[in-house]
Amino acid sequence: MSSTFGQVEENNGIVIEYNKDLSIEYITYNLPLRIDKVENQSKIDYSKIEGLVQSFFSASNLKWALSDYLSENPKTGRGKKHFDAVKELNPQNNYAQLETIYKFLYNSRQFAYVKYSLITEKIPFPIIGMLSLEKKDDRWYISNLFNQSDVQLTFANLNQNVIRDLFSQKSNNSEIVKIANSLKNSKGYFDFTIINEMYSDLMSDRKTKTLLKDKRLIDRNVNFRNASFESEPVTSKHMVSQPFILDKAIFTEYSSREQSIIKDEKNQDKFSGKPESILLKDTPISLIHKFYFVDNDENYFIIKYVDNDVKKVVTIKENSGVYLIVEPNKFKSWENLFLQIKGSFFIDLLQLDITDKNLIEIKKENSSISKGINLDLLSIHIEKNKTTLSKYLD
């Protein structure tokens, strides 16, 4: 195989993303839930999200702070000066406010994003923050998912009640309904990649910005010290489209040695234990390129090849060392993408130092804030612009 390009397991280098439809639980409080500092970690109930927030706010030494993280090698920017300040905090006027919880399952793991604010007597404004959490063994930890900037942009900046209206596409305000409809994907779900694309335009209009934005970010006169110990959660469930990084994605172009191959002893040995083995036949086929990825801990391969002068594409799944063609399958749009494009186009698009102006624009239009290529956006872009992009198509 002549050239391979992709990303390593640790998610260094090039990022390839996709959109996943999720059923999520969205929790807000009419008044923020007040969470006070505790002096002893043994008083924390880590089975609850508010317990983890309380621990994050209360941690008064490095060992305590690091125990909040799921990572085996956690790091924190908090040092002795911070921990000394925590110890001196008067709990009457210094506390945390829990405001929003966004819960979802991803690859059979329970995650949550939490928006909170820290209230201190010495600072005349709230310190608004986000935590990315994961539940494991019946307790919550701080655990970051890669490439969730689109999601965090929404929660960090928008009003919590407006977000619910955007999810449901229902509101007493017709302008919010109009905006919500513009943020839907083809299935009618709120799409985080779309709001990322439209965010700058939405915020450039003063009226729209005032309508959508967390009021504390645009009005210093808003009362932000309004938490209550008795605040009750308001919970709703929604379907959304959320971007995720594609684990271990690798794109490979086949070499001339994989052209006009048949099912003979030589090739059966060469492709033994590989997905290409199930494509071999008595008449020649030519392998063009392959896209390998992991979805929900399962290995998949999208292979483009030529059979009897016809370009074809197939998705193959590995199941305990056995390779099976998946049809019909949920990766149909990706099949169409890899069937249409030249392999060189995709490899060039994944380079960090692109100089071609056309490729720079294509990457910009189909990337997240973190500059990762989103396969679902790229698939749509190719379908809409086949004529102008013809030199990149096969």
The percentage of residues in the chain with a pLDDT greater than 90, rounded to a whole number, is: 75
Tell me what the mean pLDDT of segment 299-308 comes to.
Answer: 96
Q: What is the enclosing helix (H) or strand (E) of 51? A: helix 49-58
Confidence grade of residue 5 (pLDDT, cut at 50, 70, 90)? low
| Averaged confidence pLDDT in the chain | 91
- Is 363 or 5 the better-scoring residue by pLDDT? 363
346 and 295 within one domain: yes
Residue at 173 is within a domain: no
- The pLDDT of residue 327 is 81
379 and 256, same structural domain?
yes
Helix axes 192-204, 149-157, angle to 10 degrees: 40
Residues 52 and 9 in one domain: no
Q: Domain check: are 357 and 382 in the same one?
A: yes
Same structural domain for residues 24 and 107? yes
One-letter identity of residue 39: E
Last residue of a domain, one of 207, 240, 273: 240
Instruction: Name the residue with higher pLDDT: 20 or 7.
Output: 20
pTM of the model: 0.86
Please report whether residue 65 resides in a domain.
yes
What pLDDT sits at residue 371? 63
Q: Is the pLDDT of residue 333 over 80?
A: yes
Domain count, the chain: 2
- 193 is a domain residue: no
User: In this structure, are 307 and 388 located in the same domain?
Assistant: yes
Q: pLDDT per residue over 168-178, tens digit each?
A: 999 999 999 99
Instruction: Calculate ∠ Cα 124-128-130, nearest 5°.
Output: 165
Look up residue 167 and give its amino acid.
F
Domain assignment present for residue 169? The answer is no
Q: What is the pLDDT of residue 7?
A: 45
pLDDT at 146: 75
Position 363 scores a pLDDT of 86
* 235 C-beta neighbours (distance < 10 Å), count: 11
- Note whether residue 302 is domain-resident: yes
Residue 8 has pLDDT above 70, yes or no: no
Q: pLDDT value at position 13?
A: 47
| CA distance linking residue 33 with residue 273, whole number of Å | 56
- Judged against a pLDDT cut of 80, whether residue 210 lies above it is answered with yes
Rounded CA separation 97/115 (Å): 9
pLDDT of residue 53: 97
Q: What is the DSSP letter of 74?
A: -
Q: Which of 191, 208, 240 is the last residue of a domain?
A: 240
Asked if 8 and 102 sit in the same domain, the reply is no
Categorize the per-residue pLDDT at 147 as very low, low, confident or very high, splitting at 50, 70 and 90.
Answer: confident
For residue 3, pLDDT beyond 70: no
pLDDT tens-place string over residues 223-248: 999 999 999 999 999 999 999 988 78
**pLDDT of amino acid 181:** 97
223: which residues sit within 8 A by CB, 6+ positions away? none
**How distant is the alpha carbon of residue 337 from its chain centre?**
21
> Are residue 297 and residue 220 in the same domain, yes or no?
no
Among 122-126, 181-185, 235-239, 336-340, the minimum mean pLDDT is found in 122-126
With cut-offs at 50, 70 and 90, classify the pLDDT of residue 14: low
Q: Chain-centre distance of CA 255, in angstroms?
A: 34
pLDDT score for 12: 41
152 and 79, same domain (yes or no):
yes
- Average pLDDT for residues 269-278, to the nearest whole number? 96
Residue 382 within any structural domain of the chain:
yes
- Residue 130, pLDDT score: 95
How high is the pLDDT of residue 369?
A: 55
- Residue 197 counted as domain residue: no
Do 8 and 81 sit in the same domain of this protein? no
Reading phi first (left if > 0) and then psi (alpha if -120 to 50, else beta), residue 198 is in alpha
**Domain span at residue 380?**
3-13+248-392
Do both 101 and 59 map to the same domain? Answer: yes
Residue 315 counted as domain residue: yes
Residue 184: CB atoms within 10 A of its CB come to 15
Tell whether 135 and 267 lie within a shared domain. Answer: no
Distance from CA of residue 61 to its chain's centroid? 32
